[in-house]
Amino acid sequence: MCNTSTPEPPPSALLLLLLGLLGLSACGPPRRPPRHAHHGSPVNSLQLDLGGPGHPRGLVLLRPGESYDTARGARLSRGELAQRLASARVIFVGESHDDSAHHRVQAALIRMLARPKARTPAPRPRGAGASLAAGPLLVGMEMFFRGHAPAVLQRWARGELDEASFVKAVGWRHQWGMSFAYYRPVFGAARDHRITIVGLNVPLPLARKVGRQGLRALTPAELASLPRLHLAFARHRQVFRALLGLPPSGRALPHPGSGAQRPATPGHGAGAGTAPRSGHGGLLGRLFEAQVLRDEVMASEIVRALDRAGPGSRMVVLVGNGHLLYHTGVNDRLRRLRPSWPQATVICLSAGRAGIRVSRGLGDYLVATRARRRPAVHPNPRRRMIQRARPSSPRTSPAVR
């Protein structure tokens, strides 16, 4: 039985949330840790015990305005954080998409990393080799599809478009749907420093097709356009389940409109022309396949962009936290593609006045911002549906999406 003091949303609400995610990515944990119906214990995706080699264990309490180095157990100023990031070839900065404070953090880090003096940091981030030679700084964004409107993005970086013209020319509402105001600081930083923006994400129709029908519904041509997909990583599956408020293992969710369960099939990597399976069954399996699809495509696009930009090039990657938590998403996929590239992961978190207690294993660095009251109605209809399906509790410090 569930604890009646914090009621579990009905199954229809959970299915509504999952169906809404077919058009989105699972970009972060619910606003409060949901309770599993069978044992009543909370599943908090921010407090998983996923320690291991190179991943610190234990919890840390962060208050608004604090930055934290998880490996060294040290609190940092924002400038010290930027200095420790500067030798990484790829810097992931996670976000809750509709949290303006997270985007201000991203913009501030971009500005600091774009300064010439950010080229000689100390100490270097974990895995870093020799200092990178001077090269261009790029900004990669989940919010744009791969290969989307490069000429428009370059014109923005050169200062040739005003905001209204850019939003229209780049098709922002179709590409992402969130209010452009959330991301204004990020785009302002890119334009002020003439930084090229690169779209990383898989086209939404392809991700939707996988979320609704699975990878096996893709045509040979569609599969040939994708990088190798790896679905057998148990750690990633555990984090993905936690993002949806589910325990580490259990039965798959039923296919909508059917009482039957699809049997889980062991996952494996797949090359062009073959479709792997996720190891989950039914709806949950297809959602996991869509999440892995996004992570693998974004990782491959990061490699493509930096190889094209040449030696010494770096990229700040802006994605939802759910693609980064516990080093299991796009950051892990990139590490497998380019193990020699130093990278760093920053997780932005929303903390109440009393702070937020989270796992040190979430990322390399944690940044806590002051939690804000979210709007009652989201301007985007699809996200309004998800927001209505997601429960909230004033007793819980806001997390991230």
pLDDT means over runs of 10, the chain (401 residues): 36 44 52 48 84 80 97 95 96 97 98 76 46 79 96 96 97 91 98 97 94 94 94 93 82 36 32 50 90 98 97 96 96 97 98 96 97 57 44 36 44
Pairing of strands 74-76, 67-69: antiparallel
Whole-number pLDDT of residue 175: 86
Residue 395 domain flag: no
Q: Which residues contact 219 (CB under 8 A, 6 or more apart)?
A: none
pLDDT tens, 371-400? 876 554 445 544 444 444 343 333 333 333
* Mean residue pLDDT across the chain: 79
Among the listed residues 387, 341, 397, the one whose alpha carbon sits nearest the alpha carbon of residue 61: 397
Residue 9 domain flag: no
Q: What are phi and psi of 92, to 5 degrees?
A: -90, 130
Residue 84 domain flag: yes
Residue 300 domain flag: yes
Residue 396 domain flag: no
Helices (H), 278-341: 282-309, 330-337
Residue 397 domain flag: no
Residue 124 domain flag: yes
The 3-state DSSP class for residue 172 equals helix
Two structure tokens written together for 66: 């604090």
Domain count, the chain: 1
pLDDT tens, 186-233? 999 999 999 999 999 999 999 999 999 999 999 999 999 999 999 989
The CATH number linked to 75 is: 3.40.50.11550
Question: Residue 136 sits in which domain range?
Answer: 16-254+264-389
Whole-number pLDDT of residue 374: 56
Taking residue 3's Cβ as centre, other Cβ atoms within 10 Å add up to: 11
Residue 10 domain flag: no
